[in-house]
Amino acid sequence: MTETTAAPPRRLVGLVDCSAFYCSCERVFDPRLEGVPVAVLSNNDGCVIARSQGVKDAGVAMGEPFFKARARLREIGAAVLSSNYTLYGDMSRRVMSTLETFTPDVAEYSIDEAFLSVPTPLGSPEEVRQRVEALAREVRARVLMWTGIPVRVSFAETKTLAKAASEYAKVLLGRGEAPCVCLYGHPERERWLSEMDVADVWGVGRRWGQALRGLGASTAATLAAMPDALIRKRFNVVLLRTVHELRGLPCLPLDDAPLTRQTLVKSRSFGEPVTDLTSLSQAVSTHAARAAEKLRREGLVAGRVSAFITTKRYGEGPHRSGGGETALAVQTADTGALIAAARACLRRGYAARDRAGRPYRYRKAGVMLTEIRTAGTEQQALLPIGRQQSGADRERQAALMEALDAANERFGKRAVVFGSMGAPEMLRRTREESGAPGWEMRRQRMSPRYTTRWGELMVVRALAPFVTPDEEAAS
């Protein structure tokens, strides 16, 4: 059931996967990290969230707390860095733009992965494989040249098979070969699918994997050979699509129409405890503004806002979680309206001290938006409610938000902000810079934001030209 089909598909699906993406981004701008094990930490330098191969080989697990891994990282001489999401996001955009030079059919899957689609070349399966693998090598070379990011490139008839091919590309990389593979027409196709654990198939996972093993499907190949009726009866149509994809029958469009999100949460732990309402209000306002920007980027509006604050769950001191929620008169993506609602929720949930007079030391705040729908489909109120805006007012407010987004796009993130968020120069500082807000997260090991901050651009100094002794004497 998993053999290459006699009639070649009209198009092949490719998957481009950046290798150890966060670590690779750091290496692009710091040559000293080349050949050195690299680990990147989560918010507030809590856990390891990205590992180079050397860190993996040392037994450091994904998500392992930094304090537990510190000794092993020191033993192998690893460079440990705070997460620099501004840099990673910009480098991801550069990679995606490079891929679009090969085909307009590029669908970003995550910050470090993208699917793409190309027409199937003419020829026998073997000739198709050779030509597509040559294209894969060209993609890898151009991405590396233009961005400095190493990638794996894999092609197959479907997205699920392209994911399986990407796992095979890892094997090639381990052998010292270029991680570029086309599973269509590949002589190792059957062997690889018969060795690939069923739980590693894209869309299966551990829980379904256990159930499938109980039915005798322990590999990708045996899953592809299972009867459709059994899959539909014991599981659902989602797994049936996966089975068909393993057989080379496309069931997942390159860029599935995204489902409208149900909720949107923006939250972050503080670098140090916060006790005063003013600082908490700045943090909540900033989270609400970020949520509003995301709504507008996705063409959505929200109808309900909630804000929350919490102390540490364990340790000394009084513990408390507070917050509130409110319904908006009209669903909106307006930053001012969402900030005002979030601050009102915060005031209802804030308490400075417990009954014994001990101050609450808050360590996290956030904003959650719900009742989300596509902009333009929101229901307007039949009767005036409070200070409801007229149609002309809404148009002016929408134009203001458009200008706000354009200014921040042109002059940098948080160049123009609402006053309740604090001064722009304060918001642009990292936790370790003087004048940064106390609620900003701790990032003691963060590299410069080389590509998005003028003040953090890499400085390259030319060496003095070589002068011979005779030239020096003559001068």
Higher per-residue pLDDT: 444 or 12: 12
How far apart CA 83 and CA 51 sit, in angstroms, is: 12
User: What secondary structure, in 3-state letters, does 102-164 show?
Assistant: CCCCEEEEECCEEEEEEECCCCCHHHHHHHHHHHHHHHHHHHHHHHCCCEEEEEECCHHHHHH
Return the closest-CA partner of residue 219 out of 248, 190, 183, 244. 190
Return the closest-CA partner of residue 189 out of 246, 123, 121. 246
What tokens does 122 get?
């003419």
pLDDT per residue as tens digits for the range 48-73: 999 999 999 999 999 999 999 999 99
DSSP H helical ranges for 180-219: 189-195, 205-214
For residue 364, pLDDT beyond 50:
yes
Tell me which CATH code domain 264-427 carries.
3.30.1490.100
By the 10 Å C-beta count (0-12 exposed, 13-18 middle, 19+ buried), 383 is classed as exposed
Q: Which residues contact 307 (CB under 8 A, 6 or more apart)?
A: 284, 287, 288, 323, 324, 325, 342, 343, 345, 346, 349, 365, 366, 367, 368
- Residue 93 confidence (pLDDT): 93
How far apart CA 133 and CA 128 sit, in angstroms, is: 8
- Residue 1 confidence (pLDDT): 45
Which amino acid is it at 167?
E
Average pLDDT, integer, range 186-205: 91
Instruction: Say whether 88 sits in a helix, a strand or coil.
Output: helix
Average pLDDT, integer, range 352-364: 89
By the 10 Å C-beta count (0-12 exposed, 13-18 middle, 19+ buried), 390 is classed as exposed
Least confident stretch, 98-107, 299-308, 457-466: 457-466
For residue 428, pLDDT beyond 70:
no
- Residue 98 confidence (pLDDT): 95
Per-residue confidence at 2, pLDDT binned at 50, 70, 90?
A: very low
Q: What are the boundaries of each domain within the chain?
A: 264-427
Burial 173-185 (b: 16+ CB within 10 A, else e): beeeebbbbbbbb
- Residue 8 confidence (pLDDT): 80
What tokens does 112 get?
């470090």
Q: What is the DSSP letter of 464?
A: P
- Residue 257 confidence (pLDDT): 46
Which residue is associated with the tokens 């093993």? 213
How far apart CA 20 and CA 55 sit, in angstroms, is: 11
| Largest CA-CA distance found in the chain, in angstroms, rounded | 92
Q: By the 8 A CB rule, do 87 and 452 touch?
A: yes
- Residue 475 confidence (pLDDT): 60
- Residue 72 confidence (pLDDT): 93
pLDDT per residue as tens digits for the range 216-238: 899 999 999 999 999 888 888 88
Q: How far apart are the two ends of the chain, measured CA to CA in Å?
A: 80
Per-residue confidence at 131, pLDDT binned at 50, 70, 90?
A: very high
- Residue 342 confidence (pLDDT): 93
Distance set, CA 341 to CA 16, 165, 344 (Å) = 42, 48, 5
Distance set, CA 267 to CA 276, 310, 439, 446 (Å) = 18, 11, 11, 20
Q: What is the DSSP letter of 63?
A: T
pLDDT per residue as tens digits for the range 92-123: 999 999 999 999 999 988 899 999 999 999 99
- Residue 412 confidence (pLDDT): 72
Average pLDDT, integer, range 391-405: 82
pLDDT per residue as tens digits for the range 36-45: 999 999 877 8
Per-residue confidence at 436, pLDDT binned at 50, 70, 90?
A: low
pLDDT per residue as tens digits for the range 144-166: 999 999 999 999 999 999 999 99
Q: By the 8 A CB rule, do 222 and 165 touch?
A: no
For residue 343, pLDDT beyond 90:
yes
By the 10 Å C-beta count (0-12 exposed, 13-18 middle, 19+ buried), 120 is classed as middle
- Residue 425 confidence (pLDDT): 66
For residue 453, pLDDT beyond 60:
yes
Share of the chain above pLDDT 90, in %: 46
- Residue 3 confidence (pLDDT): 47
Average pLDDT, integer, range 254-267: 70
How far apart CA 107 and CA 366 sit, in angstroms, is: 30
Q: Which residues contact 419 (CB under 8 A, 6 or more apart)?
A: none
Instruction: Say whether 366 sits in a helix, a strand or coil.
Output: strand
Q: Mean pLDDT of all residues in the chain?
A: 85
For residue 384, pLDDT beyond 90:
no
Least confident stretch, 299-308, 362-371, 434-443: 434-443
Least confident stretch, 276-285, 312-321, 396-405: 312-321
What tokens does 283 get?
């943090």
Q: By the 8 A CB rule, do 189 and 183 touch?
A: yes
Share of the chain above pLDDT 70, in %: 86
- Residue 454 confidence (pLDDT): 75
For residue 424, pLDDT beyond 80:
no
Outline where DSSP puts E strands in 313-471. Answer: 321-332, 362-370, 373-374
For residue 441, pLDDT beyond 70:
no
Least confident stretch, 16-25, 81-90, 289-298, 431-440: 431-440
Return the closest-CA partner of residue 385 out of 325, 328, 304. 328
Per-residue confidence at 464, pLDDT binned at 50, 70, 90?
A: low
How far apart CA 248 and CA 201 sit, in angstroms, is: 14
